[in-house]
Structure 1
Amino acid sequence: MKRKAKKTSKSSYFPCTLEQLEKDLKDGFFNSTPDFSKKTIEQNGQRIGVFFIHYMVEKDQIYKFVLDKIQSENIQWDTKLLDNEIPINNAKFRTECEEIGKDILRGSVCIYVEGDSDCITYGFPNILERTPSKAETESLVFGPKIAFTESLRSNMNIIHWRMDNSSLTSEKFIIGNEIPTEVRLVYLKDLANEENVNEMRKRLKNLETDDVLESSVLTQYIEDNSYSIFPQMYVTELPDRLCYELKEGKLSVLVDKSPSAVIAPINFFSFFESTEDLYTRWNMGSFIRLMRLVAMFLSVTLTPLYVAALTFHYEIVPTALLVSLGHSRSRVPFPPLLEALILEFLIELIREAGARLPTKVGQTMGIVGGIVIGQAIVQAGFTSNILIIIVALSALASFTVPSYLMGSAIRILRFPLIIMAGLWGFLGIFFSFSFLIIHVLKQKSLKRPYFAPIYPFRPKDLDNSIVRIPFLKSNYRAYSNMAKKTKRFNEPPNTKKKDIEE
């Protein structure tokens, strides 16, 4: 059934002439837009103006549904009759020139019958959509490969395709004073905690900004602590990751023109999880998750330990290794602190250059550049072979984190730790770790504990974060998510194992 256009209660800008409307629209919105178009239809003593920007609308649909209809009917037109006769459900009555200009900028066509007290706009946006393709930043070996696109309409279609659930709820927000952008809050009404929904809804409604460039930019506006180096909301381009988190009782925010979605509330250990852990066997998934956490710890500590040991604590190095270290560093003119900082900066430089270059060239640059520069810098005596190995292991360990934002945070943390190790040795490292632990414990994600289930300690939630247990045994959602329904399914009845003869 076709919806009727809604009238506004504002004082009307109309009636006016077509020339006056065209002049005001150009002066207010389209003075620097040569593609603003007007078509005038004269019939039965009437003048009807059609206004639009030709590259922002589907011109074929305008001619098919609007212009052909008006020109084929030999009747006296007005806005009410246009709304009744043209079978399009997004019609809007407009009485202000400013409203008309904004509609045209969003891909609408404005129709005004000269002398009427209002006009009508129809949405015919020419939306550019990229075909869903394989994920780039979150690559998987097992599982679905499809990723989100820049079209909000396409992304919502993917979510509904993956989740055939009547509880799936979507709330619309328009954010941006200068460049309005559509934002969707998505959750499962039967599972999502109402406090979480209200908190996210409040943050989106109260957000005042000129525009929202992308989902990751939106998180910096609405996260609990924008000064922390640790991300407090997960940004993903994988629809299967999003759907899995929704079924755990979490919320998601999608931004138009952004190929990624925001998930909240989230905890620290969620950044080391991957949906691929679910597609493999439970023991393998647990091993991989634990390996990522160990790799994160090694990535942060290996180089600082090297600097602290060679600067203050030679006595902890085994004698055989100490000889090798002394020989390797005999030609190095820099102290361990400066040596480590130079090499860490060089590794980050190669990584950034490889990421910004085209894919094939970037891979070659990363491999060849690392080998050639590493060998040259050792031969030139700027660093030791052992530090090359340690820095390379630290860089590899940081790449095991599925989240790009968390991986970047870990790589940045190495620099202050190296400086503290060079200034105060192990005492500086312990002080830095104490500060980091206190900082992480104080963080929250949508007012929920960030370091759960370790703090506060919830043993039953460990299988939803640090390890993975078999699906038949994992029938409780994480308490940290505060989902309305804690049980995923009813436990199967205990069946007694029978012998083959029985």
Structure 2
Amino acid sequence: MFKKIKQKIQPNEEKPKYNPPKIPISPFKNDFIDELNKIVHSPADLVIRYVTNNITIAFIDGLVDTQSLNEKILSRFEDTSQETPSTLRERLSIPEVDVFNEMMKSIDEMLIGGVLIHINGYSEILISKIPSFEKRSLSAPENESQVIGTQVGFNESINTNISLIRRFISNPNLCNEQFTLGKETRTTVSVLYIHGIVDEKHVNTVRQRIEDLDIADLIDSAILSELLDDSSSSIFPQTLLTERPDRFCDGLLTGKVGIIVNGSSMGIICPFTFLEFFQSREDQNLRWPIASFIRILRFIAVIVSTFFTPIYVASLTFHYEVIPQPMLVPLSESRAIVPFPPIIEALFLELVIELLREAGARLPTKVGQTIGIVGGIVIGTAAVQAGITSNILIIIVALGALASFTTPNYMMGNVIRIIRFPIIVLAGFWGYYGIMLAFCFLLIHLLKQSSLGAPYLAPFYPPRLRDWPDSIVRLPLPYISKHSVNSRSRKEIQKNKQKKNNNKNNQKQNQDTAQNLTPENKEKVIE
């Protein structure tokens, strides 16, 4: 609800960055091993081998590919006193072999799957990168399922996720910039975009915000998403978290910026507008009348889930005149034995629904489904028989909860669940005036929001007629602009301006030639 206050950094002021102390590498193997054990605190998974009299290797067990270690490194060593780092580097059949002369940088490489190779008598060390991290095999997305389309999702390996993206987009203009975040975790973050399609302003904004971050740890992409938001205090998400590589690539192809975090199975897409959270990737795979009907159904479901229960509370508390005459008798009979006012009754049922939903999500799958179904039936029936609530309100609350599940994005679905409660409270105190006050407050808040500086309610505010065919409805593909106005690059904008200028010039030339024609020539042209 409030804009995040960001510290203004002066041009000459720089944030402190991670700068490890420069510790030289000892040329003596015993001193080297003692220094290594001292820095990493002698962990149980640290492996140190004396391969020959002069060569010592060190690595972390579980982070190194054992087969590559035996075949491509250990088999290449010779027990000779004439071995040097340069000659040994030439004989190793591994493409990634680097030479370091600082201890801390060498240890950082070892912690991400590198093998330290120390030669006695030299103050340089070879690092061979043969990482082998345990990772989950590719599977279908669990939270963003679809019937028509690809059935593969991201996993926790950043290299695997980037390979999936390059499998969809075989384009040399696909750029990949890597950053390292977190003083303790040293997490790798990749920023991806397509050069020539993306707006460079958005890329610079993401790059600057990542470089300005000064955090101790980064475990998941959801944390980074919140840190990159324009207003992190807002309840509405401003970046999309997705586990589908096809939706991630679709965002890149429409001029957005994508972010992949190592160790997270969710990718980040930005900038993202409010309406795009209610669009699914499957909409592009369906015929346009069906996709339009489903989109309209989603927006109707959002309105029902947000305002249906507050309208019930306001109508029974202040505005009986809006209730049709045939419904007054069933409503009065249903509420005859209920001792609580409508606001208490509605809040109680909404809390029960949220408790059942949260319990079903946290319990194991089979038990969670049973709790959700049986618990809802038992508690609802018992509440009506005990006179705590009415039958009609149970139907309304259940319909609102069912409508909230139609939102294809989990983060936006949580928002729809939460904003109902303050609207119910305002409806219980001020009736329809409270509902209108809540609606105006939400509208003003959404108008003030932005995503990477782009308007959050685009294409309706500010009006972007070019993007309307793919907003609430989805018209046929030839009528849809592939690149939205907010994500168009400067080259594309210049091309469109040049086309318009050329069309205007052609029209002027045709008018001038028409005016200069003689009557005889005009008749020939008409013929």
* TM-score > 0.5, shorter chain as reference: yes
Q: Which of 481, 484, 487 is matched with 1:481 structurally? A: 487
Task: Check if 1:37 corresponds to 2:47.
Answer: yes
Alpha-carbon shift at residue 103 of structure 1 (Å): 1.9
* Cross-structure match for 1:384: 390
| Structure 1 residue ranges (4+ consecutive) displaced by more than 3 angstroms after TM superposition | 483-488
Task: Check if 1:420 corresponds to 2:426.
Answer: yes
Contact 2:191-2:260 at 8 Å conserved across structures: yes
Instruction: Name the aligned partner's letter for residue 37 of structure 1.
Output: V
* Local SS of the residue matching 2:197: coil
* Cross-structure match for 2:71: 64
For 2:96 and 2:178, the matched residues in 1 are separated by: 16
Cα distance per residue 1:419-476 (max 9 Å; x no partner): 1111111111111111100000000001000000110012221112221111122255
Which deviates more from structure 2 when the two are superposed, residues 403-412 or residues 467-476? 467-476
* Cross-structure match for 1:317: 323
Which deviates more from structure 2 when the two are superposed, residues 325-334 or residues 183-192? 325-334
Contact 2:258-2:268 at 8 Å conserved across structures: yes
Alpha-carbon shift at residue 334 of structure 1 (Å): 1.5
Which deviates more from structure 2 when the two are superposed, residues 34-43 or residues 157-166? 34-43
* Cross-structure match for 2:60: 53
* Cross-structure match for 1:235: 241
Contact 1:464-1:478 at 8 Å conserved across structures: no
For 1:126 and 1:256, the matched residues in 2 are separated by: 14
* Local SS of the residue matching 1:254: strand
Instruction: Name the aligned partner's letter for residue 277 of structure 1.
Output: D
- For normalisation by structure 1, the TM-score amounts to 0.91
* Local SS of the residue matching 2:357: helix
Q: Which of 104, 115, 122 is matched with 2:121 structurally? A: 115
Instruction: Name the aligned partner's letter for residue 60 of structure 2.
Output: I
Aligned CA distance change for structure 1 residues 11 and 182 (closer, same or farther; 3 Å): closer
Structure 1, unmatched stretches of 5+, are 1-9, 491-502
Instruction: Name the aligned partner's letter for residue 256 of structure 2.
Output: K
Instruction: Name the aligned partner's letter for residue 444 of structure 1.
Output: S
Instruction: Name the aligned partner's letter for residue 65 of structure 1.
Output: K
Alpha-carbon shift at residue 358 of structure 1 (Å): 2.1
Contact 1:251-1:264 at 8 Å conserved across structures: yes
For 1:61 and 1:30, the matched residues in 2 are separated by: 27
Instruction: Name the aligned partner's letter for residue 55 of structure 1.
Output: G
* Cross-structure match for 2:167: 161
Trace 1:220-369 onto structure 2 (pairs within 5 A).
220-369=226-375
Q: Which of 29, 33, 37 is matched with 1:22 structurally? A: 33
Contact 1:150-1:257 at 8 Å conserved across structures: yes
Trace 1:121-136 onto structure 2 (pairs within 5 A).
121-136=127-142
Aligned CA distance change for structure 1 residues 55 and 11 (closer, same or farther; 3 Å): closer
Cα distance per residue 1:20-53 (max 9 Å; x no partner): 222222221133x21211111334xxx2111112
* Local SS of the residue matching 1:204: helix
For 2:153 and 2:63, the matched residues in 1 are separated by: 26
Alpha-carbon shift at residue 485 of structure 1 (Å): 3.4
Instruction: Name the aligned partner's letter for residue 37 of structure 2.
Output: K
* Local SS of the residue matching 1:55: coil
Alpha-carbon shift at residue 12 of structure 1 (Å): 6.3
Task: Check if 1:400 corresponds to 2:394.
Answer: no
For 2:482 and 2:286, the matched residues in 1 are separated by: 20
* Cross-structure match for 1:3: none
* Local SS of the residue matching 1:232: coil
Cα distance per residue 1:166-199 (max 9 Å; x no partner): 2211111111111111111111112001111111
* Cross-structure match for 1:5: none
* Local SS of the residue matching 2:431: helix
Trace 1:422-441 onto structure 2 (pairs within 5 A).
422-441=428-447
Aligned residue-pair number: 475
* Local SS of the residue matching 1:34: coil
For 2:171 and 2:124, the matched residues in 1 are separated by: 41
Contact 2:23-2:104 at 8 Å conserved across structures: no
For 1:37 and 1:145, the matched residues in 2 are separated by: 40
* Local SS of the residue matching 1:463: coil
Contact 1:12-1:117 at 8 Å conserved across structures: no
Structure 2, unmatched stretches of 5+, are 1-20, 500-527
* Local SS of the residue matching 1:173: strand
Contact 1:11-1:95 at 8 Å conserved across structures: no
Task: Check if 1:196 corresponds to 2:202.
Answer: yes
For 1:274 and 1:193, the matched residues in 2 are separated by: 23
Trace 1:66-85 onto structure 2 (pairs within 5 A).
66-71=73-78, 74=80, 76-85=82-91
Aligned CA distance change for structure 1 residues 80 and 12 (closer, same or farther; 3 Å): farther
Which deviates more from structure 2 when the two are superposed, residues 19-28 or residues 244-253? 19-28
Aligned CA distance change for structure 1 residues 275 and 41 (closer, same or farther; 3 Å): closer
